[in-house]
Structure 1
Amino acid sequence: MTRADPCAFAALAAEQLINGFGIAALPVDPFAIARGRGIEVVPKPSRDAGVSGMLIRVGNEFAIAYATHIDNKPFQRFSISHELGHYFLPGHIDAVIGTNGIHESRAGFTSNDRYEMEADRFAAGFLMPRHLFFPALERAGRGLAAVESLAALCKTSLHATAIRYTQCTRDPVAIVVSVGSRIDHCFMSEALKSVDGIDWIRKREAVPRNTPTFAFNQDVENVRRAVRVDETSTLQDWFGGSRSVEICEDVIGLGSYGKTLTVLYDIALPDDDEEEDEGFLIESWTPRFRR
């Protein structure tokens, strides 16, 4: 049984808005949508590092300020969409805007704050709405190459696109973000979550030592220079269990972000009949000795 996603409604709300706006093709333009609602969108001074975006209220008027200390258009588009999440999602404005009329957001997909998590999910659904993203995903291929193709189409970061990829694909896939020898976070597709007999990857776990990702992270220059490798590992390496099934492992450094993105895919799991047949063969060839 897979766990219910408490933030799924936020992505759905964003998708419904995109449908309602009559947007029928990617990429989605958060600047235009915000300004169409009378929300001024302005760049934030680059000296204000650490804050990715701000939602500002003056009376009944709103503005969004986005970070410029990171010169990255996908990052800025996601930050604006995140603030639109706070604007559109029920209860957010009253919950997040302080007495000074300002809410500050910080990037990273790592906050445990309910409202920040919901706004992140809104932003993903807003920029990559399932009804437009899924058909593109079906044409994009597999693994990191698919993520790169979708990121170029949606004008989103590799990181955000990889997460959305796991949320929308029908295939058993996972993405892992790591720093050095430790896992920062992991997202698994529903098809992979439903597989019996595997362990879910946890935050702060060690990167498995016999994987290409572990070898990649031994050299920080691989991360800084956004080096890419396409290798293989096994399902057992990453998820434990008894299936030593070979899987594809694509790895890329995320540059100034300081993290490594790993895409695990082409996980060809045997069906129930095949596993029963294999179990029968093992049983039939196991020698039995008299006591």
Structure 2
Amino acid sequence: MRGTRLSGDTPAEALLRSLGITSPDEIDLEAIAWSIGAKVREMELPSCEARIIGCQDQAIITVRNSGDPRRRRFSIGHELGHWIHHRGRSSICRSSDIGNPEAASQLEKQADRFAADLLMPRYLFVPSVAQLKRPDFESIDELATTFTTSRLATALRCVDIGTWPVVLICHGPSGRRWFKRAANIPDDWFPREDLDPSSPSFPVLFGTVERTRIQSVAASLWFDRRDASRYRITEQSLKARGGTMLTLLTLTDPKMLTQGNR
């Protein structure tokens, strides 16, 4: 039985419902692509991650046949986003264009949002998050296994959904590269540019530690607000691609979510 589109559904979620998809293991991207006139093929692509070429109501999506299969799935979803939203334009996407929070192009960001909605639709993702004990990378990895998505894409989706009061931060050796926070966190909880040497995460970025356990720390290690030392948060970090580090901060004190609470 095919599902009925709900008023809050995004285009990707509406597409999934129209196909009667009710569990993550039913999200067959090749079949979904075929249903909207796109054929998926894999081949060697030395200069890009994925591309789509379309004519009228038919398209061919080509994705690189090497690398992480979960990233390949996101690349297919990304190109389908171009097909739905940017039909009539050719698209050749480099690795840095797909699933990259630093990407500047609004077209690429829109394609990424479509991919996230397609691979991790809210009507399936939110109930899965609700079953987890706490916000940490172990929970994120569990979700990534369930939805066959990468750790980064899953972590970003957790922030987008807004169930957890979390901030996801990426650091490189020269400092903070990007961050994303849940919508319920006030803007004045703005992460510091630098990484405090006393943070338990410091050996992850500059040493050999692969992953820290989740632990309580002073909020002032991560935020510049003058009253930050009054609060405790939890932090957990792990090594990521390209010599970077991902950190998940959870604002555990409800007072931190109140605007103007200084």
The TM-score normalised by the length of structure 1 is 0.75
The match for 1:122 is 114
The 8 Å contact of residues 248 and 264 in structure 1, kept in 2 or not, is answered as: yes
Shift of 1:57: 2.1
Q: Deviation per CA, 1:145-170, whole angstroms, max 9, x where unpaired? A: 22111111111011010011011133
Residue 149 of structure 2 corresponds to residue 156 of structure 1 = yes
Residue 238 of structure 2 corresponds to residue 252 of structure 1 = yes
Shift of 1:60: 4.6
The match for 1:112 is 104
Greater alpha carbon shift after TM alignment, 37-46 vs 109-118: 37-46
Amino acid across the alignment from 2:40: V
The match for 1:177 is 170
How many residue pairs were aligned? 245
The structure having more radius of gyration, on CA atoms, is 1
The match for 2:211 is 228
The 8 Å contact of residues 170 and 190 in structure 1, kept in 2 or not, is answered as: no
Residues 269 and 234 from structure 1, CA distance in 2 versus in 1: closer, same or farther, beyond 3 angstroms? farther
Amino acid across the alignment from 2:222: W
The match for 1:64 is 61
The 8 Å contact of residues 191 and 224 in structure 2, kept in 1 or not, is answered as: no
The 8 Å contact of residues 137 and 169 in structure 1, kept in 2 or not, is answered as: no
- Root-mean-square deviation (Å): 2.6
Structure 1: how far apart are the matches of 2:101 and 2:63? 17
Structure 1: how far apart are the matches of 2:57 and 2:12? 22
Give ranges in structure 1 of 5+ residues lacking alignment.
1-10, 280-291
The 8 Å contact of residues 33 and 40 in structure 2, kept in 1 or not, is answered as: yes
The match for 1:200 is 190
Residues 15 and 201 from structure 1, CA distance in 2 versus in 1: closer, same or farther, beyond 3 angstroms? farther
Residue 199 of structure 2 corresponds to residue 211 of structure 1 = yes
The match for 1:132 is 124
The match for 1:30 is 29
Structure 2: how far apart are the matches of 1:233 and 1:83? 41
Secondary structure (helix, strand or coil) at the match of 2:235 reads: strand
The TM-score normalised by the length of structure 2 is 0.83
Q: By percentage of residues, which structure has more helix?
A: 1
Amino acid across the alignment from 1:121: R
Amino acid across the alignment from 1:45: E
Secondary structure (helix, strand or coil) at the match of 2:87 reads: helix
Q: Where in structure 1 do 4 or more consecutive aligned residues deviate above 4 Å?
A: none
Secondary structure (helix, strand or coil) at the match of 2:206 reads: coil
The match for 1:15 is 13
The 8 Å contact of residues 134 and 169 in structure 1, kept in 2 or not, is answered as: no
Residues 271 and 228 from structure 1, CA distance in 2 versus in 1: closer, same or farther, beyond 3 angstroms? closer
Structure 2: how far apart are the matches of 1:272 and 1:23? 35
The match for 2:73 is 77
Q: Deviation per CA, 1:165-221, whole angstroms, max 9, x where unpaired? A: 011133311111121241121111122236xxx34237xx323333222332112x4
Secondary structure (helix, strand or coil) at the match of 2:24 reads: coil
Amino acid across the alignment from 2:108: E
Give ranges in structure 2 of 5+ residues lacking alignment.
1-8
The match for 2:51 is 54
Residue 107 of structure 2 corresponds to residue 103 of structure 1 = no
Amino acid across the alignment from 1:152: T
Greater alpha carbon shift after TM alignment, 156-165 vs 25-34: 25-34
Structure 2: how far apart are the matches of 1:55 and 1:165? 28
The 8 Å contact of residues 229 and 251 in structure 1, kept in 2 or not, is answered as: yes
> Between the two proteins, what is the percent identity of the paired residues?
26
Q: Deviation per CA, 1:37-81, whole angstroms, max 9, x where unpaired? A: 3422111305x14x2210112565311111234x21110000000
The 8 Å contact of residues 124 and 160 in structure 1, kept in 2 or not, is answered as: yes
